[in-house]
Amino acid sequence: MLFVATVYYVKFPEMSRKQAESSSKERQEGKTDPGASRHGNFINYYQFHPAEERVRQLPCGVWRSSHPDRKYVVLDIGCNAGDLTFALHDFLESALSVDQPKEICLLGVDLDPILIERARERNRRPDRIIFECLDFLDEDRNRTLAKYLRRFEKSRFDVVFCFSVVMWIHLNHGDEGLVKFLQKVCSITDMVVVEPQLWKCYRNASRRLRRLKGEEFPLLKTLKFTGDLTMHIERILTESCNFRKVTVTGENEWKRRLLIYERT
């Protein structure tokens, strides 16, 4: 077992040893490898990316609401099994309590029905957090999002979080899909938080999909937004979405920054 895990670790150096050991175990048991996925819908993602560490990167004091008298309404796109969604709820509750105590209401969406089922089963705040299965690139999302916002008499979310989801949108829908995604996100929110993945993650995702499932991302070779994804995303947010920068955080341990932008 140690040998198999070591081979895995050498093959996928960006995985932690713990992740490599788990991968090799799952493969020996005939389960799907968690390192190969078409949409980033890894079933045990939070075993390797603890949610609490991720929210530590978020600044306090930037979370404004255009309706200070109403609830603070949040969308988490690509919520996976919900761990980060729960941590975001708790973070915002304490961040907003300093000068404008508010009820935080959060909608987590993901295209994977199994992950949504998991998130619902483990939901410890069903009064504040709900999960819906939808593909954010699908027009059908509008009905679900509009229905949710209506509950709070709002036409837009206060903030939309896009953590580690943009690369999967980009790989599956190309440059045009990425621009459409960000334009749609900005059209339904006053503030957006994007965690772009590094270009090396694109190559790794593609290599794993090819090696482990014999599949490709057909649009990868057509992409013109390559290299520094942060720069491309910032340009789309300012030039195509008319949003302005609130702040960009320092890098976390995987060298990822959070881009925080708002409606002008």
| Interaction site with ligand SAM (CB under 6 A) | 39-41, 45, 49, 77-80, 84, 109-112, 115, 135-137, 163-165, 168-169
CB of residue 106 vs ligand SAM: minimum separation in angstroms? 13
Phi, psi of 75 (to 5 degrees): -120, 135
CB of residue 133 vs ligand SAM: minimum separation in angstroms? 9
* Residue closest to 15 by CA, chosen among 36, 43, 39: 36
Q: Which is nearer to ligand SAM, 65 or 82 (CB)?
A: 82
Q: Which is nearer to ligand SAM, 63 or 163 (CB)?
A: 163
CB of residue 151 vs ligand SAM: minimum separation in angstroms? 21
Q: Which is nearer to ligand SAM, 66 or 191 (CB)?
A: 191
* Residue closest to 170 by CA, chosen among 141, 202, 209: 202
Helix %, strand %, coil % for the chain, to 5? Answer: 45, 15, 40
Q: Which is nearer to ligand SAM, 111 or 186 (CB)?
A: 111
CB of residue 101 vs ligand SAM: minimum separation in angstroms? 27
* Residue closest to 91 by CA, chosen among 65, 64, 63: 63
Distance from the first to the final alpha carbon of the chain: 55
Q: Which is nearer to ligand SAM, 111 or 237 (CB)?
A: 111
CB of residue 138 vs ligand SAM: minimum separation in angstroms? 8
Q: Which is nearer to ligand SAM, 171 or 241 (CB)?
A: 171
- Contact in structure between 215 and 208 (CB atoms under 8 Å): no
Q: Is the dihedral of CA 147, 150, 154, 158 positive or negative?
A: negative
CB of residue 215 vs ligand SAM: minimum separation in angstroms? 16
Separation of CA 2 from chain center: 32
Q: Which residue is nearest to ligand SAM (CB)?
A: 78
Burial of residue 56, with CB atoms counted within 10 A of its CB: 0-12 exposed, 13-18 middle, 19 or more buried: exposed
- Contact in structure between 187 and 217 (CB atoms under 8 Å): no
